[in-house]
């Protein structure tokens, strides 16, 4: 199984949010907690079963991150722009 870590991007494979891209902010034994900075904010993450997400190997430093930074990370990824990690 894919190794899931905080700061990685993940694509939803199932559910009403299928094909949406999120940032992983927390991982436990069965679930990951995902945010997108707008609908799913840091204060209200989406709880998703690990088997329903596909990991995107990009990993970002989330130290001091807020919803604006999360939206910016996702926007850069969607536009194919480079982002200096860290």
| Residue 35 counted as domain residue | yes
Supply the pLDDT for residue 3.
86
| Residue 84 counted as domain residue | no
| Residue 17 counted as domain residue | yes
| Residue 22 counted as domain residue | yes
HEC-encoded secondary structure of 49-66: EHHHEEEEEEECCCCCCC
| Residue 3 counted as domain residue | no
> Quick one: average pLDDT of 57-79?
91
- Convert the pLDDT of each residue in 11-24 to its tens digit: 999 999 999 999 99
| Residue 85 counted as domain residue | no
The reported pTM is 0.87
- Whole-angstrom Cα distance, residue 47 to residue 45? 6
| Residue 45 counted as domain residue | yes
Residue 78 has pLDDT above 80, yes or no: yes
Supply the pLDDT for residue 1.
45
| Residue 86 counted as domain residue | no
- Domain with 52, as residue range(s), is 8-78
- Convert the pLDDT of each residue in 28-65 to its tens digit: 999 999 999 999 999 999 999 999 999 997 889 999 99
DSSP per residue, 65-77: --HHHHHHHHHHH
> Quick one: average pLDDT of 64-71?
94
Domain count, the chain: 1
- Whole-angstrom Cα distance, residue 55 to residue 63? 20
- Whole-angstrom Cα distance, residue 43 to residue 41? 5
CATH of residue 34's domain is 2.30.30
């Amino acid at each position: 199984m894919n190794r899931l870590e905080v700061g990685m991007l993940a694509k939803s494979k199932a559910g009403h949010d299928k094909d949406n891209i999120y940032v992983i902010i927390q991982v436990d034994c069965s679930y990951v907690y995902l945010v997108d900075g707008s609908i799913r904010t840091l204060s209200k993450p989406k709880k998703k079963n690990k088997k329903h997400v596909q990991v995107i190997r990009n990993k970002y430093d989330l130290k001091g991150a807020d919803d604006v930074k999360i939206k910016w990370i996702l926007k850069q990824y969607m536009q194919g722009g480079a982002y200096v990690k860290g």
